[in-house]
Amino acid sequence: QKEVEQDPGPLSVPEGAIVSLNCTYSNSAFQYFMWYRQYSRKGPELLMYTYSSGNKEDGRFTAQVDKSSKYISLFIRDSQPSDSATYLCAMSAVVVSNAGNMLTFGGGTRLMVKP
């Protein structure tokens, strides 16, 4: 079993829909959670970073963490065709300054938003 599981998709939605992207994890030591967006032929771009259970909102994006269930989500409101990309969740156990904190990535979910 992988440490981080993510539905590979593809997930196809109409423009304006609310999108829910999810990851589950098995390692209870994970405390820090990230979502990256990766456009085709580009490097991953950090979207959201959170370290506590609950919700964190940034514009149309909301990151949700449920440590008791080992489950994280990214919600995208009013989805746009420009949101079409692969979304990767990532997590780490500790954050120590200048220590090279290892990230464990999910497999990525490919999202397509149709006009």
By beta-carbon proximity to other proteins, the closer residue of 59 and 100 is 100
CB of 12 to other proteins, least distance (A): 17
CB of 41 to other proteins, least distance (A): 7
By beta-carbon proximity to other proteins, the closer residue of 61 and 105 is 105
Residue ranges that bind other proteins, judged by CB under 8 A? 32, 34, 36, 41-46, 49, 51, 88, 90, 95-103, 105-108
- List of long-range contacts for 25-28, beta carbons under 8 Å, 24+ apart: 25/70, 25/71, 25/72, 25/91, 25/104, 26/1, 26/70, 27/3, 27/93, 27/104, 28/67, 28/70
Distances (CA, A) of 114 to 5, 25, 89, 93: 26, 30, 23, 37
By beta-carbon proximity to other proteins, the closer residue of 43 and 59 is 43
CB of 95 to other proteins, least distance (A): 5
